Chain A
């Protein structure tokens, strides 16, 4: 238990530190790399919660695919001090307020979940079988709806990527 606790503090420290570095580092590529470290720390947390499946999927999807695409775009954009557009104070204020609201929402939701705390070692919440059972029995409707949401996003991406001339010819 002692070891697990220490590991938890270590991972949290890494996650928070690298999350801060994402914001503070000057080079956008470094920001992305720090974000990847944050994701790994969070994957470590999942493993501590005995949710290996979530950890693996988290690494594959977020660190392995999405962040690569981020890195990709940022490497190609060649961002630096000169090309950065100047933001007005109003936008900065709006960003601060919306981020603050998000923080309030997070804190509120975490405070509400205190009663739901379980000992992860006793119940198998993270294994693939249990995940599947829960997803397809208790949360079937939200699960399917979220898959439709992904489909919509995919179709939208295809529409955006499609050449307009080509579309006219086809119709």
Chain B
């Protein structure tokens, strides 16, 4: 049979030579390898004291952005929920009442916005789909918890607080912006 790659190794069960049969040379070379490893640099990162450096475009926990005045950008259009391949996003839309202009930017807003973090695969398609630049993935980590219900993140956890804005510009490298632009163009075509 023709081989697909040249990485495969042909296995044969030929008779062992005397040197192989007494095991000792092989054992000796084995213990030399392990003793060498004893003096090598350890790969361990002592986690709570030291953290591993994150990639610039790391995709972690989502954030629902507010605009400059502090009003929520999300209009509950549902594009993110449609785009989500894991079907992790659900939302309930509501109409903005009088006097809430400083809370919500447009007339329609998400009364309820939930992401099931156990379903989410952190692909970032919601971010790409969003026409209002409301949802972004950040470099924050979704922490562990005890129950499944605790992983359904509502607006209380997702929307950024007014006085503690979350910076998402670091992720928006020129390459990422370029990619998004291309995507938009291909949509419009």
In-complex A–B contact (CB below 8 Å): no
